[in-house]
Amino acid sequence: MIIVNLNIRGLGGSTKARYMRQIIEREGADFVCVQETKSKELSDARCFSLWGDNKVGWIHNKGDDGSGSLLSMWHKEVFDYESHLMETGFIIIYDQYIKTSSRCAVVNVYSPCSLNGKKTLWEDL
């Protein structure tokens, strides 16, 4: 199981999309956690483009108007999605790792800079 974690600081341009695709391909990623997408909305087509094919499941947390936004993506032939929990600052994906039939949870977290924001996030988690 290969999980890649990236703080991308905005998915706006084609250079970052190409960078993500290269990392996913080079590392053989099964699951990718992306912080700071700065995207208010994402589509299937955009996620398929980022992953490199359409065998990807994904959940997007738009954050606060794009700030602190998160994207969790997984290879559908490696992880069998069961459910998710999403709050400000995190996405938890509950799934089954198909190779071993093991249930697991992958957490994608982005902490705010303020101390109060950090405390609230960890209380929510």
The reported pLDDT for the residue numbered 92 is 96
From start to end of 39-113, where are the E strands? 56-61, 70-75, 79-87, 90-97, 102-109
Cα separation, 109 vs 93, whole angstroms: 11
Q: In terms of residues, how long is the chain?
A: 125
Cα separation, 93 vs 53, whole angstroms: 20
Mean pLDDT, contiguous 10-residue spans, the chain (125 residues)? 88 83 93 90 90 94 78 96 93 95 94 83 85
Sequence spans of domains, the chain: 3-124
The reported pLDDT for the residue numbered 73 is 96
Tokens representing 63 are 């954050």
Q: What fold characterizes domain 3-124?
A: Deoxyribonuclease I; Chain A (3.60.10)
What amino acid is encoded at 49 in this protein? S
The reported pTM is: 0.89
